[in-house]
Structure 1
Amino acid sequence: MEFYKVAKKHREDNEYMELEAIKQKYDDYLDSRLDELWEIAKYVHSNPELGFEEEKACKVQCDFLRENGFEVEENLGGLSTAFKAVYQYEPGELTVAVVSEYDALPEIGHACGHNLICTTALGTAIQTKKYMEEQKIPGTLVVMGTPAEEFGGGKIKLLEKNAWDGIDAILFMHPTSDTTRLAGECMSSTRIKIEFKGKSAHAASHPSKGINALNAANLYFVATGLLRQHTKSDFRLSGIIDSGGNTTGLIPDFASVEGSLSCFKSSDLEDYIERVRKCAEGAAIATGCEVDIEFIPGYLGRVPNETLSEVCRKELISIDEPVMDGMPFDYGGEDLGNVSRIIPICNPYVTIFPDYKISNHTEQFRDLANSSAGKRCIQVSSKAMSRTAMELFKNPDIVDAAKKELQERMKDE
């Protein structure tokens, strides 16, 4: 029996070394294409396009994927800058998707590093395809081109069009200025629009005849401020008075409030929505105003998947990339969150090496996304995600376990 255990371990060690040698071969292939990929990243960076307008970024990706043997469907889900690219050596039981996003921010351009995200998707795609093709691996590899992450929720619109159907697991990279990590939870959110309607009157001669809508807006902020004591620590509520009168000589007959509400659990979000609604209604009653309240759904929080993330963690370590422990949460949000509630995701955040931690959506982050650190981010991310895809195609049971984990996590939502 002891001999059997030793022989079994020796066989497993040999299999690991053989697979590692295969992965290294395709890492080398990625390196041979890195300069070509970097040119695409720089092109997207120098041609920033807002959500649903990413014509150049969409075209350069679709052209590249076609040239590299993928079948490309454009106008996916009726969105002119969405696409789906597919490669299949032969049919198999698993479909793995690599997600690309490529919209920029108004005025500041690619300050969230989406030029790195989309190019990493291309790098992961060609490295994984090369492996599947040469090693004769059954299964389907997909690149999902998803527009308008910053404003518009392209991934959510594609969900509504059933464009994600048939996908078993998702790989998606985001750059960070922090240590490389595997993403944990992020926040669910909703936008808030409130309009208070009162009655105008001269502020000096007939104030008693007016109904002050601005008072209602101020009272709303007092009420929601007091609400904070009775919420969980992750409760986030922000807002501004968008309109509150036109002149100091008149009682304001109209005031509008815009804001956002976020927290980690979607069930808590629904509870907070109703509490905030009551604050607005109470403010209206107290001041004699009428009120219109609208909650506009935002992005649902990301549901992390430890099963897939640990595979990617191992691959990052294998290529000598330091990785933060655990799966840290984020206070932001992304439209991948909605998808992560249906399909298990692996979401590495890969560093772009600043000397100090900086926030994305800044000029510094934008510049780093077009630097040698950005090029290295593409290199590390593409290798790690491709290696992860190789493991999944070789061991589909991992994806079965990831799906079970997702089901368990959703019970807490």
Structure 2
Amino acid sequence: MLPRSNVYSGRVQHEVELIRDDIIRVSQSIHAHPELGLHEQWSCGFLVDESKAKGFEVETPVAGLETAFIARYSSKKPGPAIGFLCEYDALPELGHACGHNIIAAASFGAAVALRSIVTELGGSIVLIGTPDEEAISDESKGGKVVMARAGVFDALDAALMMHPLGGANAVWRYAFPLKDFNVHFDGKSAHYTEPEQGINALEALLMFLNDVNAIKRAWSPSVMFAYTITDGGGPSAITVPKSAEAHITMKAFNGEYLEACFERVRICVQAVSEMTGAKGSVQVLDEYRHMIPNLHLAASMARNVTALGGSVESPVDSQRTLERRTYPGLSTDFSDVSWVVPGIHGYCALGGENLVAHTSEFAKAAGSDPGSSAVLLAAKAMAMTAADMLADPAFTKAVKDEFQTYRDGKFGNVPGIPPGFLPFPGEFVEAFS
């Protein structure tokens, strides 16, 4: 499960220390320029310029995304292609309260630190700028989802990133599937004294929501169906509403069950349309798959974080916590990458368990000394994990074989995750004992 002892680990740490000031400068600069998803022009341009200055060949835009980029550093010798994913979008009003400045800078630092090792051993390092992870606008689809569908990650042998959080460092965490969409009804306006002359779109929307709340009783209670009415039909109480709309987010514990429930929602829209005459439509905004962890990468990263003096949450404990959950948790567009290539979405500690993302306290930590400590640990841990693959062809093969086993099983045989919660292999558990 673990790679052989890596003689390059010390060298990787030294290379990160040599660019320590650059990594922190990148993190704090992005933190000081918060931009919403699909509008990260400054951050994308900044990372492109920094990558070019370090000898990377850069392509931008990518996959039709103006604020996406790919920066490559390749050896003349063959070897694995390892991707490091950057995020750099911020949140409205809160700025970098999800710490994406740390993600970008850590991936940048890891990629830059590996240049001499790639030149020596072979292979390539690919730094990929993935915008719009938060996906907060109607135009958003999740940058990595768009890029995955465009084949951006297909040639990679592995994709790595680390996200800051409150609590312990972690190398195995599940991310839940998500479906974010609008339901809209078009009716016909009329004066309320002659309602028969109109078609009430708001009543159709309310009927739809009531229908879904009724059929939810036959679903697993673990399904999340959250909504807000974004168009209530207008300000006049004496006019039959011509239009009405709700913004809805659904989650479940696995993607197949989520799709089944979502299909029932579509049927409700159709049924209400037929009953009321209001024309119903569904506009899917974002849809993220559930995470496919790679145990070999998790074991490698855990060993490396521990070697750096960090503590690592046990995947066994993480999995037990997941089994005890009764409601879905976090989702990310990295999950879609994990269905395309072997991937790891690790977590680096930014503060204690009481530090919660999407708060002003989290934003402050991400832009100050705790953020600098987290970004350096993440850069080193990811670079060391990549070096494990570069230096150990047998380990690289094991990483890829594990992923192929899941793909051959249509991803229904992944240990530790819903719905089956299959047991972890013994050697994986032993790596954390």
TM-score normalised by the chain length of structure 1:
0.87
Among residues 54, 63, 88, which one is paired with 1:77 in the alignment? 63
Among residues 356, 367, 370, which one is paired with 1:370 in the alignment? 367
- Aligned pairs for 1:313-324 (under 5 A) are 313-324=302-313
- Name 2:171's counterpart in structure 1: 182
Among residues 375, 385, 388, which one is paired with 1:388 in the alignment? 385
- Distance in 2 (CA, whole Å) between partners of 1:372 and 1:256 is 44
- Aligned pairs for 1:164-313 (under 5 A) are 164-203=153-192, 205-207=193-195, 211-246=199-234, 247-313=236-302
Between Structure 1 and Structure 2, how many residues are aligned? Answer: 392
Offset at residue 220 of structure 1 (A): 1.7
- Aligned pairs for 1:24-63 (under 5 A) are 24-63=10-49
Name the SS for the 1:96 alignment partner: strand
Q: Does 1:401 align with 2:398?
A: yes
Output the amino acid matched with 2:379: S
Equivalent pair of 1:308/1:398 in contact (CA under 8 Å): no
- When the two chains are superposed, the root-mean-square deviation of aligned CA atoms in Å is 2.4
Output the amino acid matched with 1:360: A
Equivalent pair of 1:185/1:264 in contact (CA under 8 Å): no
Offset at residue 32 of structure 1 (A): 3.3
Q: Does 1:128 align with 2:125?
A: no
Offset at residue 43 of structure 1 (A): 0.9
After superposition, the C-alpha distances for 1:40-88 in whole angstroms (9 at most, x for unaligned) are 2111111112223323222332232233232223323343322222223
| Cα 1:201–1:381 shift into 2, 3 Å | same
Name the SS for the 1:181 alignment partner: coil
| Cα 1:75–1:195 shift into 2, 3 Å | closer
Offset at residue 100 of structure 1 (A): 1.1
Q: Does 1:110 align with 2:107?
A: no
Offset at residue 346 of structure 1 (A): 1.4
- Name 2:420's counterpart in structure 1: none
Name the SS for the 1:267 alignment partner: helix
| Cα 1:163–1:253 shift into 2, 3 Å | closer
- Name 2:349's counterpart in structure 1: 351
Equivalent pair of 2:37/2:131 in contact (CA under 8 Å): yes
Offset at residue 288 of structure 1 (A): 4.8
| Cα 1:26–1:241 shift into 2, 3 Å | closer
Name the SS for the 1:172 alignment partner: strand
Q: Which sections of structure 1, spanning at least 5 residues, go unmatched?
A: 1-14
Equivalent pair of 1:90/1:137 in contact (CA under 8 Å): no
After superposition, the C-alpha distances for 1:95-121 in whole angstroms (9 at most, x for unaligned) are 111111112222221111111111101
Equivalent pair of 2:77/2:121 in contact (CA under 8 Å): no
Name the SS for the 1:77 alignment partner: coil
- Name 1:12's counterpart in structure 2: none
Among residues 331, 337, 362, which one is paired with 2:329 in the alignment? 331
- Distance in 2 (CA, whole Å) between partners of 1:309 and 1:69 is 30
Output the amino acid matched with 1:162: G
- Distance in 1 (CA, whole Å) between partners of 2:310 and 2:263 is 45
Output the amino acid matched with 1:402: V
- Distance in 2 (CA, whole Å) between partners of 1:174 and 1:374 is 11
Offset at residue 91 of structure 1 (A): 2.1
Equivalent pair of 2:89/2:134 in contact (CA under 8 Å): yes
After superposition, the C-alpha distances for 1:356-379 in whole angstroms (9 at most, x for unaligned) are 423322211111110111000011
Q: Does 1:94 align with 2:83?
A: no
| Cα 1:409–1:44 shift into 2, 3 Å | same
Offset at residue 144 of structure 1 (A): 1.1
- Name 1:3's counterpart in structure 2: none
**Greater helix share, structure number:** 1
- Distance in 1 (CA, whole Å) between partners of 2:215 and 2:46 is 49
- Distance in 2 (CA, whole Å) between partners of 1:263 and 1:347 is 20
Output the amino acid matched with 2:291: R
Identity %: 28
Name the SS for the 2:282 alignment partner: strand
Offset at residue 191 of structure 1 (A): 2.4
| Cα 1:288–1:166 shift into 2, 3 Å | closer
- Name 1:140's counterpart in structure 2: 124
Output the amino acid matched with 1:365: F
Output the amino acid matched with 1:378: V
Bigger shift: 242-251 or 314-323?
Answer: 242-251
Kindly name which structure, 1 or 2, has the bigger radius of gyration based on alpha carbons: 1
Output the amino acid matched with 2:68: A
Bigger shift: 356-365 or 399-408?
Answer: 399-408
TM-score normalised by the chain length of structure 2:
0.83
Equivalent pair of 1:308/1:399 in contact (CA under 8 Å): no
